[in-house]
Amino acid sequence: MRLSQSSRVGGVGLLTLVATYGIGRQAYGLFVPTFREEFGLSLDVLGFYASAAQAGYLVATVVTGVLTARFGPRVPVVSGCVLLAVGAAMTASAPGPMLLAVGITAAGTSAGGAWGPFSDVVDNQVPSSGSRRALALVNAGSPVGLVVASLLVLVAGARWRAAWWAFALIGLVAATAAWRVLAPSAAGPVLDRARPELGWFFNGRSVRLFVVTLGISITSGAYFAYAPDTAQDAGLSSWIGPAMWAALGIAGAAVGVFGGGIANRYGLRAPLAVMLVLVGGSTAMLLVAPGSVVAALGSAALFGVGFTTGFALVVMWSQQVFHDRPTTGFTLVIVFSAAGFIVGPSLFGLLATHVGRPVALLTSAAPALLVALVPPSRSDRLEAHDPDGHGDAAPA
């Protein structure tokens, strides 16, 4: 059976994000309890490790914008997957905290080359009728990666280094697939290389997008770094971390893959507000019943739906605001996302260490809840492609 172009491009994007986002950027929280015990590291130090990975991601995002404009999407995407493989291998072989920090930072940095270029890939390789579906498929790679990471952690058990070696292999597989599908011509013809003026980047439409991106990212960064450790610290067994991430990934992928159909039927405003409330509410939910398996898994599942679908909608919103230069504009969106992911883990780690986890959880939940009050401008709320809500809603 011949795959449609939206499925082909979206499938490669999904695999790429499985490696660089789901594993390289977001699976770190699964290993926080292990790293605390194995290397004798405190919560605030581990928070700075997570923030260092996000800072590397921020730098890589800026470099990716330049590379994509010059060489097309294939070079940064393949480079990101290879960097994940290298970082995972370094983490797997780390004898002490120093190499561990370098490996974690490299793995987290890898995601900077993966997401942004797919805005150009979809814009130039996928028919407009399938673009939202392709973007939703790419975005679903993040939760699918968490499911993969969770399964590998459960299989590896105490042999956590084996899981990281497997992560490295997945990075190489993703690099090979991206190299084959993303041809150098995928960037498409460039009609105007003039540098956009400041008003193109920052205006009434884009500032709303940046504020929402920053808010959801602060909350999400804290959740990804500390949710499993918070559940385990409340007395739950060590398997709760992989179980939470599996629930997060399955629920996120199950709903997030329909992000295009949701936007087609309901637009952006209401669905995005709901997803932001889910992200903030699921973070605060860890306070409701600290020692409850049901509460922990429910929190992870709700967060997975809110995070995956919320960011899928953010991608589509960015395509509306920066329709003439999708990768250039989305690169700036990713910069704000990276800034939030830098702030979130460090903020939580400091508050949890010096004030307590309840305060850290409530403070971390607040940004996503607050930006739920910020709607897209009227011109960016999307017109429905399909009034019946079908069209892009079919899964791959």
pLDDT higher than 90, residue 312: no
How large is the average pLDDT for residues 366-383? 85
Question: Which DSSP string do the residues of 344-372 spell out, in sequence order?
Answer: HHHHHHHHHHHT-HHHHHHHHHHHHHHHT
What is residue 194's predicted lDDT score, i.e. its pLDDT?
61
CB 217 within 8 A of CB 314: no
pLDDT higher than 60, residue 393: no
What is residue 328's predicted lDDT score, i.e. its pLDDT?
76
How large is the average pLDDT for residues 151-171? 93
Q: How far is CA 223 from CA 32, 86, 145, 279, 332, in A?
A: 12, 25, 16, 9, 23
pLDDT higher than 80, residue 232: yes
What is residue 202's predicted lDDT score, i.e. its pLDDT?
84
Give the domains, in start order, of the chain with CATH numbers.
Answer: 5-184+200-387 (1.20.1250.20)
Return contacts of 233-240, CB within 8 angstroms, 24+ apart: 233/357, 234/290, 234/291, 235/290, 235/291, 236/291, 236/293, 236/296, 238/33, 239/154, 240/293, 240/296
Helical H segments across 235-287, by residue range: 240-256, 259-266, 269-285
What is residue 381's predicted lDDT score, i.e. its pLDDT?
67
Q: What is the pLDDT of residues 30-83, one digit of tens each?
A: 898 899 889 998 888 998 898 899 899 888 888 887 888 788 888 899 999 999
Phi-psi region of 234 (alpha: psi -120 to 50; beta: other; left: phi over 0): alpha
d(CA 105, CA 55) in angstroms, rounded, equals 8
d(CA 56, CA 297) in angstroms, rounded, equals 30
Q: What is the pTM of this model?
A: 0.77
d(CA 231, CA 241) in angstroms, rounded, equals 8
Confidence of residue 191 (pLDDT cuts 50, 70, 90): very low
pLDDT higher than 70, residue 111: yes
What is residue 185's predicted lDDT score, i.e. its pLDDT?
56
Confidence of residue 1 (pLDDT cuts 50, 70, 90): low
Confidence of residue 183 (pLDDT cuts 50, 70, 90): low
Residue, of 49 and 325, whose pLDDT is higher: 49
CB 311 within 8 A of CB 139: yes
What is residue 8's predicted lDDT score, i.e. its pLDDT?
81
Nearest to 61 by CA among 5, 124, 109: 109
Confidence of residue 281 (pLDDT cuts 50, 70, 90): very high
For the chain, give the percent of residues with pLDDT over 90. Answer: 43
What is residue 207's predicted lDDT score, i.e. its pLDDT?
93
H/E stretch holding 220 reads helix 204-233
How large is the average pLDDT for residues 137-161? 87
Nearest to 340 by CA among 309, 356, 369, 364: 364
What mean pLDDT is reported for the chain?
A: 85
Residue, of 5 and 266, whose pLDDT is higher: 266
Residue, of 316 and 130, whose pLDDT is higher: 316
How large is the average pLDDT for residues 324-341? 83
How large is the average pLDDT for residues 264-289? 91
